Amino acid sequence: MEEVVAAFFVEFNGFRVKRIVAGKIHQSYRLTLSFKNRQTADYLLQKINRTVFTDIALLQKNLQKIISYYRQQSEKSFLLAAPVATIGGDLFFQDKSGNFWRVFTFFNGYSPLKEIISPDQALIAGKTFADFIFFFRDFSQNLPSVIPGFRNFKLYLEQFELAKKNSLLTSRKNIKEIITKADHLLQKTYEDYCRLAPDLPRRLLHNDPKINNLLVARDSRSPVVIVDLDTVNFGYLWQEFGDLLRSALIGSAETETRKNFDLSILKALIKGFLEKLSGLLLPQEAASLAGGPAIIACELALRFLADYLENGSYFDFKYKKDKLSAADNQLSACQFFLNRRDLIVREIGSVLDH
């Protein structure tokens, strides 16, 4: 680890690292540097998942475009976690073992939003991700995809069907039950997906609007920090809207759906997200939103299931069985949103007609 730290920093007296158990892709650590004057400084150190991100240079180049655009704008309602360059000026470092590392600023006094427990929190979460989209509304630089096929429902379906066909695990009773559940929900969600308007505009999205990608300060007056910008790219609003609502229902662990989800939280999320974007929304975009949560939940279930059946390493769960639990959980979320689609439609209309 000393090799990695020395690539980014000079003249430190010592350091310590502590694993941060958060996220399902990279390995993250809190890096604390100590100096001769007894002062310390904290950073976020990440070992990049090369199974997911095969072109590290492209990943960091995209990130640099996003950060540069952000810094050039005068008015900002949120903060972004900025990368720290190596001594040589690069945004990543490859160690002797071939692993790739990067460092970000660390926000002391902030913590991830692991669970939304009040409408006020929901309003902030919805508004912050909407602020991100509104802030980057004029961003026009090319951002090549860092994950081929990312958020491609048809591709995920093909991968799921292939995994079912080739895996020996499908004969197990518990797995067979989850696959049957997935096949049933797929019939409805795939129909909804195919009915989406083909002329929807593509907007720059965060593309991973999980609630724990928001850091909130103990001082509620401070701006919210948005983290994990790896998949920022152009996409459809129904995807961002859907993943935001899905994440609020499930929480950061992904493995347990909240049994008593207060609908006032759902309504506040919708209000927070749409009030800022109402002036940008086209009619066909507004019509596409209600189906988003169920489609995204089903899509993620397929990804978790395929990764489990193939014994893959895309998602980093502590135990393999948790990946299966997460897949089942997404399917429960899918059913939840299918059952409440009319409610979501009414709330969308209420905000946009206000």
Task: For residue 229, give the CATH number of its domain.
Answer: 3.90.1200.10
The DSSP string of 290-345 is GGHHHHHHHHHHHHHHHHHHTT--SS--SSHHHHHHHHHHHHHHHHHHHHTHHHHH
Kindly state the average pLDDT of the residues 290-302: 95
Last residue in a domain, options 106, 136, 158: 106
Question: What pLDDT was estimated at residue 167?
Answer: 85
Q: Which residues are within 8 A (CB) of 26 and not within 5 positions of it... i.e. 6 or more apart?
A: 46, 47, 48, 49, 316
Q: 193-248, pLDDT tens digit by residue? A: 988 878 899 999 999 998 889 999 887 678 899 999 999 999 999 999 999 999 88
Residue 336 pLDDT:
92
pLDDT value of position 256 = 61
Asked if residue 96 has pLDDT above 90, the reply is yes
Per-residue pLDDT, averaged over 110-134, amounts to 91
The domain tally of the chain equals 2
User: How sure is the predictor about 319, in pLDDT bands with cuts at 50, 70 and 90?
Assistant: low
pTM: predicted TM-score of the whole model, two decimal places: 0.91
My answer on whether 44 and 179 are in the same domain is no
pLDDT tier at 116 (50, 70, 90 boundaries)?
A: confident
Domain match, 245 and 203 both: yes
The angle at the Cα of 139, spanning 136 to 144, to the nearest 5 degrees, equals 110
pLDDT value of residue 184: 93
Last residue of a domain, one of 54, 83, 106: 106
Query: Band of the pLDDT at 159, cuts 50, 70, 90?
Result: very high
Range of the domain at 13: 2-106
The confidence score (pLDDT) of residue 26 equals 85
pLDDT of residue 316: 67
Q: What is the pLDDT of residue 260?
A: 63
CA 106 to chain centre: 19
